[in-house]
């Protein structure tokens, strides 16, 4: 087990990619704190599966666009596990529309969740990782952040922003033993895609 004794936070761990990431981390030995916004029952099922593997797990309701709610999740993970070693920024949303019809609210909400939400968790984890001279940050972006997609200017911009953020953050934290990477999946059949 590659991650025995490590402690992870996975945002959006109640569904899709986040559920898979949570379970794989646990299979490799990590304790996992997962967040959810609307899907409490699903999050609790994932938590139960992780605990059945002999790992510790907590699930915390969180709107990742809230700076204070992200801080509360990090504190909950620290209280449950003693430390945090891994952050998987996965939670996200889309609210599609062509740019000439897109409402300001559509643009703002997607940027708040998909880009600011990642910042919120990184802001609270980065000092811990820097001080302990160890940490892993995995930012889930999208192929659409690299190539763009018709009707998704807000989503594509937010995911492209994550790519730039990841590159800059890797330069800031690399000297402290912290790895920062982005993963850009293509289409994966998840609830969000459906």
pLDDT, residue 22, reads 98
Domain-located, residue 193: no
Domain-located, residue 2: no
Domain-located, residue 76: yes
Kindly report the CATH number assigned to the domain that includes residue 146.
3.40.50.720
CB atoms within 10 A of CB 88: 26
Q: What is the helix, strand, coil percentage profile of the chain, to 5?
A: 50, 15, 30
186 CB-near residues (< 8 Å, 6+ apart): 143
| 91, 140 Cβ separation under 8 angstroms | no
Least confident of 72-76, 169-173, 185-189: 185-189
Domain-located, residue 190: no
Domain-located, residue 113: yes
Tell me if residue 78 falls in helix, strand or coil. Answer: helix
Q: What is the pLDDT of residues 100-122, one digit of tens each?
A: 999 999 999 999 999 999 999 99
Q: What average pLDDT does the segment 54-62 reach?
A: 98
Name the residues annotated as catalytic.
155
Q: What average pLDDT does the segment 49-53 reach?
A: 98
Q: Using alpha carbons, select from 67, 83, 81 the residue that is nearest to residue 131.
A: 83
Domain-located, residue 81: yes
Q: Residue 13: exposed, middle, or buried by beta-carbon count in 10 A (0-12, 13-18, 19+)?
A: buried
The domain of 167 spans 7-183
Domain-located, residue 94: yes
Domain-located, residue 29: yes
Give me the number of domains the chain comprises. Answer: 1
Q: What is the pLDDT of residues 112-163, one digit of tens each?
A: 999 999 999 999 999 999 999 999 999 999 999 999 999 999 999 999 999 9
């Amino acid at each position: 087990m590659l991650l025995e004794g490590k402690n992870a936070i996975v945002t959006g761990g109640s569904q899709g990619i986040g559920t898979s990431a949570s379970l794989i981390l646990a299979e490799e030995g990590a304790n996992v704190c997962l967040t959810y916004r609307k899907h409490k029952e699903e999050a609790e099922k994932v938590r139960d599966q992780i605990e059945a593997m002999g790992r510790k797990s907590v699930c915390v309701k969180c709107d990742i666009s809230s700076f204070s709610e992200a801080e509360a999740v990090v504190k909950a993970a620290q209280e449950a596990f003693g430390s945090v070693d891994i952050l998987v920024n996965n939670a996200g949303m889309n609210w599609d529309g062509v740019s000439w019809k897109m409402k300001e609210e559509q643009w703002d909400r997607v940027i708040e969740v998909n880009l600011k939400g990642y910042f919120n968790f990184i802001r609270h984890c980065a000092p811990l990782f820097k001080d302990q001279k160890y940490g892993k940050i995995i930012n889930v972006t999208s192929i659409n952040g690299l190539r763009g997609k018709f009707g998704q200017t807000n989503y594509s911009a937010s995911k492209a922003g994550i790519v730039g953020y990841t590159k800059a953050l890797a330069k800031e934290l690399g000297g402290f033993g912290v790895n920062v990477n982005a993963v850009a999946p293509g289409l994966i059949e998840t609830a969000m895609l459906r």
